[in-house]
Amino acid sequence: MSERVGRAVATVVLVVGIPLACLAGIALYGKALSESDVAIGTLVPPEVARRRFLEARARFLALSPAEHLAAAEAALDAGAGRRRGGGVGAALEHLGAIPPGVPERARADAMLAEFARRRREALRGFAVRLEQRIREQGEPSGADAARLAAMRAALAASLGSAQVEGDGGVTLRLERRRCDGVTLDAVAAPNAPALRALGFREVRCATDGGVLAL
């Protein structure tokens, strides 16, 4: 049993942790750029922005495991009052920086497992909502091209975080803050037949996190 739990936690750490180095670099670079804004709204010279980025990265890497864990928990607390999941990105960066073999790693693994569980639940809910919105558009069989185009546009509008794009409007673009192949597999793939019936040919993440051909 303990071996299975260990393998499950390891899998979660790999799935969630692999992109963390990239996320950390992007976040720190974005922080450096935001800090480089001057009063008139322009950017300081690139060498100054790069220096600030390197300084921020050095500060991040110098944190102890306990400090990374505390920063992760603080990021979640700070994000709780903002939009849903607002502090998760920063928390994941700090959790991914905690090395194995330290006492804080167990707590970090537990938090990562909880994040993964919540995301699975959220994606299941999104898949159900997409299915419902598709049904609300009516029966597509027998509809002409203009009617199908209108149904596709109405579906995207009803989701609130999607757009129709491409020649003929046959691409459904999801504009969720976190969208990737996992999102498409969990949300779009189960609804692929119904989406094809409406005339969609692919579902794409606006963040270029993935494309699902229908």
Q: pLDDT tens-digit profile of 188-206?
A: 999 999 999 999 999 999 9
Domain-by-domain residue ranges, the chain?
2-120, 141-213
What's the CA gap between 18 and 50, in Å, rounded? Answer: 24
Q: How confident is the model at residue 88 (pLDDT cuts 50, 70, 90)?
A: confident
What's the CA gap between 167 and 170, in Å, rounded? Answer: 7
Q: Give the mean pLDDT of 53-78.
A: 91
What's the CA gap between 103 and 164, in Å, rounded? Answer: 48
Residue 211 backbone phi and psi in degrees, to 5 = -140, 135
Residue 18 has pLDDT above 70, yes or no: no
Q: How confident is the model at residue 35 (pLDDT cuts 50, 70, 90)?
A: very low
On whether the pTM is more than 0.75, the answer is no
Tokens 């409007």 found at: 169
- Please give the single-letter amino acid code of residue 13: V
Residue 199 backbone phi and psi in degrees, to 5 = 100, 5
**Better-scored residue on pLDDT, 120 or 15:** 120
Angle at 72 between CA 184 and CA 61, to 5 degrees: 100
